[in-house]
Structure 1
Amino acid sequence: MMKRLAAAALVAAAGFGLVACGSSDNSTTSQGARTAVLEDSSPVPVSDNPPATLPVTVKSFDGVDVTITDNSRIVAADRYGTLATTTVALGLGDNLVGRDTAAKFPAVADVPVVTVGGQSLNTEAILDLNPTVVLTDTSIGPKSVQDQLRAAGVPVVFFDPTRTLEGVPGQIQAVADALGVPAQGAALIDRTESEIAAARDLVPNDGDPLKIAFLYMRGSAITMIGGEGSGADSLIEALGATDAGTASGITQQFVPITSEALIAAAPDALLMMTDGLASIGGIDGLEKVPGIAQTPAGKNKRVVDMEDGVLLSFGPNTGRVMAALAEAIYEPGGS
């Protein structure tokens, strides 16, 4: 317990507020639904408008060498909000002129959204912002828009679209290098890794690991359970638990939920995005999904949800996300 309190103090000392809101005792054997919350999801910059060393030529994830000469007008757009979050955390938030809809944190509230419907880019809308560099990946598109931006003379840098815990340091450094601030990238990596280590210390090391299943839902039309490579598996394992979907033999990132799949996974707890849980009518609606009631998690109504744009972003906020989840999953009580 002292180790976990010390870890919580380290995260709090970094200037981050964590709140786990819930309805009941949530020790490793308790029942109840909880929401893991970051009081402020805006990343704290490691520097304030750092000077850039430009021009710089970097290898884009699509294999193209891209030269960036100016980072004064940055558009950062991917499915998860990771690239915009990283840009702000590097201290270049004032240079951000366009973002994706997943980047919802307060620090970018006034920055125009360039993704129509959440994942679709528009060439004219982006060009109207006069960007000097576009940071993106293949999680959004269409690719023809990104190609058109390059044809118009805008440096477009693609990054690895895979989101895992292990990929966080490399992703941060790649963005920092592209923006001409490699030293800030190294500093941000050090801070993020320290926060991740502190969050790991919040996880109990006694008893058998929990089995947690990640459910992705958008109303009754889209109901999926995560498996190997979903991104959630990496997060669940970092929290000292076992990804129930992977353990049950699911080898794809996501498969449709069936009662058979859920019963085979037998999760002790369910992890969901907040909007996804709301889209099916909350806990009451979740209980109506075939197979849920037959799982230990369903019987105990043990569900942890977290804001959509935060949960699987895997960037500079990762340590804070893990700490909030660890408190929601393991700590008794709550606010």
Structure 2
Amino acid sequence: MDSKFPPLKNDLLLRAARGEATERAPVWVMRQAGRYLPEFRKVRESHGFFEICQSPPLATEITLQPIRRYTGLLDASIIFSDILVIPQAMGMEVLMNPGPQFPEPLDTPADVEKLRKVVDVDKELGYVFKAITQTRTELNGEVPLIGFCGAPWTLFAYMIEGGGNKTYQKSKTWLFRHPEESKALLQRIADVCVDYLVGQVKAGAQLLQVFDSNAGELSPYDFVQFSFPTLRHISKLVKQRLEEQNLPVVPMTVFAKGANSSLGLIAEKGGYDVVGLDWLTDPVEARKLVGDKVALQGNMDPSVLYGGRDAIEATVRRMSEGFRKGKGGWIANLGHGITPGVDPEDMRWFLECVHKYSALG
């Protein structure tokens, strides 16, 4: 399948994801195509957020913006989309003003009946697949293209809360009052995630990431009960389907933000090649927890990018020393997404510092 695309010139990310030693750490940043870039804000002046997601030419343009700006410094692109396209595909309305809003969230388990019984991802999310194919072609092999989805627990919380939330009262009420109905909905979301991720590889994605951004809202026990089984289901079934369809079995990353007490479990039994870290975990301690069978990704505090060049350089140097102490691959990244107020030149400095300090030796 890859033969229809330009040959890859930079495979650093893919080698590190498979645990190979690399001459330096590959580096990319979550939300690297986003609001901190003036060229992105320019496009947003005349186009809605989901309009961009649903337009392959616009999504391609946004995905390529940081690759153009930081040519030679970024080692991956990630398709411009949103984790909430899955609830949309399942039949829910999602607005973005400015944060996500669900006009009709799921209030009780009976509301699950409003969702589509069967989700045809080619029909509902084909625009993402087209954007991936177009982007992969226009990248011309410069760097690999990452596809992604939100994790079932994170999507479940949005679908029930109706947007972002600090207490997660509604979604946790479901978990504790309706545990079996909750698990059934989580499984249903997971099955859509599997179809969606396989479709992304078919379209040209070369690595997949699953974002469980709300993982840290669950106690360690509840993470194991409600989130982890679906994360494991996704990794196992995606790889199985890729093999069955003679598609590339691409590396997979899981980023369970805040679930740091479960890192050992995630690494040992999650079935992922790469485990993403937030900034609340020390790289040396993380490596002790996960062993050397998975690659690690992360994990600078995104707020350091506001601290000036000296702070950025010192933090990257310290981070690099920590990750280099252990065996196994390391992909440099932030511990969460880059925030809108960052100066693009400070992002450039971060990338340059990673190139300088992450080299072996």
What interval of TM-score do these two structures reach, taking the shorter chain for normalisation? Answer: 0.3 to 0.5
Task: Give the alignment's TM-score, normalised by structure 1.
Answer: 0.33
Larger proportion of helix: 2
Larger proportion of strand: 1
